[in-house]
Amino acid sequence: MTAKALRCFVGIVEREFLRFLRQRSRFFASLVRPLVWLVIFGTGLRTMVDLSGTPPYGPGVAYEDYIVPGLVGLVLLFNGMQIALSMVFDREMGSMKVLLVSPQPLWYLLTCRLVAGVIVALPQVYAFLACAWLWGVRPPLSGYLYALPAVILAGLMLGALGLLLSSLVEQLENFAGVMNFVIFPVFFGSTALYPLSRLSDANAVLAEVARLNPFSHAVELVRFALYGRLDITALVATVVMTVVAMALAVWRYDSGRILRRSLAA
Amino acid sequence: MSALEIRDVSHAYRKPALRGVSFSIEPGDFVLLLGLNGAGKTTLFSLIAGLLGLQQGSIRVLGHEVGRSAALAGCGFVFQQSALDLDLTVAQSLRYHAALHGLSRSDARKRIEQELERFGLAARMHDLVRTLSGGQRRRVEIARALLHRPCLLLLDEATVGLDVPSRRAIVQRVRAQCAEEGATALWATHLPDEVEPGDRTIVLHEGQVRDDRRDIAAASLPDYFAGLAS
């Protein structure tokens, strides 16, 4: 990497961080959302759901322990949507042009933007894990370290999907609807709240949806990493999905596909 | 080598926006691209910036094919639509631009101070962009475009929405800057009073170059456009 490319990366990360710091409510919203699930939903279902024998947990695992990786995924999913929203906002406000006329190649600029978005998500994820620890969800301490690459990879995949989504959404006003359309099916149709084995017993179609859902793989990657284990299938699926989504996003942003519409309007 | 060379460029959305546009600009020239709203100026700028893909014709910027890294590195852009982050300070906005162009921190700091001083904004350096007036924001955008010392400055309606004294001050500042640093500028506008005697003026109308000369008198331009429209 050249010095200029590195400075460009640092500049993009710095801008994302400065914007994040000015939007403090975003940080608290990202914490409150999963904490409501953990404290209310988790407590309510603790005695109703038997998760004994579900890997990577041992016997007698509490429901809250199970859903914490899924809620980490929820933080990352919202962060991916935030990346998408911010791209659409920048496009509408005109500031994306400043990024696009930089002398660095487009794929590099979008990758920097993606990585910057994931870096901003890390404090949110670890703040949530700290709150979960206080609530009694305590994976091994080493798990917090092992989870870091998994969280980064899951964040990259969801951010890349966010970038792709931003290339498909034409106007800012449409974005709220698109977010609801994406977030809820992706979250509920995954292994974030219930294991695949339990889903198969209840509904084979839903189980198949959850098995194919890339978000399930991101969640499983984080879940296993938190307990010091590696889920190879989840790793491969997450990497492949990241590369495919990113390639499609770059292709969409290339050749003015996105700006052509706004200029033609 | 021309600073900008445009050959037979045509572009269409649902309807044609540019039709066979050709002209070139020599290094050091200050050229006005004059046209009514919808004449195709922004489309032409977007093509020069590589924001839109070329459909027909060719554009060479500083001897490089449009959209290439070397071409973009030598250009400074001021877009018609404001492109500043309202939630950043003036200095942070400029530092972001400097980083995108690969300037080191120390160079960026020096140049930011220098440009803001020139544009009379040094005292607002640490203020949020959203607290600036429209004229101050435009000056920040021009300072930003000059930060990486471009050889070719492209300004698309850089004074739109400003009062007459602010417009005059900005035009004079850019003219002076180009004269001091020997930069080339293409200034797109729909305002005839931005034309000064002796300026090379390219008139773009309904996507076509209708005139390209140095002796267009600003006072006669309203009648000139009325003639084109009829």
Q: Are B24 and B67 in the same domain?
A: yes
Band of residue A117 on the pLDDT scale cut at 50, 70, 90? very high
Residues of A in contact with B104 (CB under 8 A): 3, 7
- Each domain of chain A, given as residue ranges in start order, spans 3-253
Q: Are B143 and B175 in the same domain?
A: no
Which of B96, B128, B149 is a domain's end point? Answer: B149
What is the overall mean pLDDT for chain A?
Answer: 90
pLDDT attached to residue B53:
86
Q: Chains A and B: how many Cβ contacts under 8 Å?
A: 102
Which of B149, B166, B190 is a domain's end point? Answer: B149
- Domain assignment present for B54: yes
Show the DSSP H helices in chain B as ranges: 41-48, 69-73, 90-100, 105-118, 134-146, 164-181, 221-229
- Domain assignment present for B193: yes
Cβ–Cβ contact A18 with B under 8 A: yes
Which of B149, B181, B198 is a domain's end point? Answer: B149
- Domain assignment present for B80: no
Q: Inspect the interface and report whether the beta carbons of A94 and B70 lie closer than 8 Å.
A: no
Q: CATH code at B68? A: 3.40.50.300
Cβ–Cβ contact A24 with B under 8 A: no
Condensed to tens digits (0 to 9), the pLDDT of residues B87-106 reads 899 999 999 999 999 999 99
Q: What is the mean pLDDT of residues B46-52?
A: 90
For A59, residues 6+ apart whose C-beta sits below 8 A from its C-beta are A52, A53
State yes or no: pLDDT of A238 exceeds 80: yes
pLDDT attached to residue B193:
81
Condensed to tens digits (0 to 9), the pLDDT of residues B119-152 reads 889 999 999 999 999 889 999 999 999 999 999 9
How many distinct structural domains can be found in chain B?
Answer: 2
- Domain assignment present for B141: yes
Tell me the residue range of the domain where B197 lies: 1-74+152-230
Q: Are B125 and B194 in the same domain?
A: no
Share of chain B above pLDDT 90, in %: 61
Q: Are B186 and B211 in the same domain?
A: yes
Tokens standing for residue B121:
């904004």
Q: Are B144 and B199 in the same domain?
A: no
Cβ–Cβ contact A21 with B under 8 A: no
Q: Are B69 and B98 in the same domain?
A: no
Q: Are B131 and B162 in the same domain?
A: no
In sign, the C-alpha dihedral spanning A48, A52, A53, A54 is positive
Condensed to tens digits (0 to 9), the pLDDT of residues B162-219 reads 888 888 888 888 888 888 888 899 999 988 888 888 889 999 999 999 989 887 776 6
Q: Inspect the interface and report whether the beta carbons of A12 and B102 lie closer than 8 Å.
A: no
Q: Kindly report the backbone phi and psi dihedral angles of residue B22, in degrees, each rounded to the nearest multiple of 5, phi listed first.
A: -140, 130
Global ipTM: 0.88
Condensed to tens digits (0 to 9), the pLDDT of residues A159-212 reads 999 999 998 887 788 788 888 888 999 999 999 998 888 788 888 899 999 999
Mutation target for B interface from A92, A101, A260: give the one with most B CBs within 10 A. Answer: A101
Q: Are B26 and B115 in the same domain?
A: no
Q: Are B57 and B156 in the same domain?
A: yes
- Domain assignment present for B79: no
- Domain assignment present for B102: yes
- Domain assignment present for B62: yes
pLDDT attached to residue A172:
80
pLDDT attached to residue A265:
44
Q: Are B55 and B165 in the same domain?
A: yes
Q: Are B162 and B224 in the same domain?
A: yes
- DSSP 3-state of B169: helix
State yes or no: pLDDT of B21 exceeds 80: yes
HEC secondary structure over A205-257? HHHHHHHHCHHHHHHHHHHHHHCCCCCHHHHHHHHHHHHHHHHHHHHHHHHHH
Residues of A in contact with B70 (CB under 8 A): 103
Torsion, Cα of B227, B203, A261, B94 (10° steps)? -140
Residue matched to tokens 């990202």: A30
Q: At how many degrees (to 10) do helices A232-253 and A257-264 cross? A: 40
Q: Are B66 and B5 in the same domain?
A: yes
What is the overall mean pLDDT for chain B?
Answer: 90
Band of residue A109 on the pLDDT scale cut at 50, 70, 90? very high
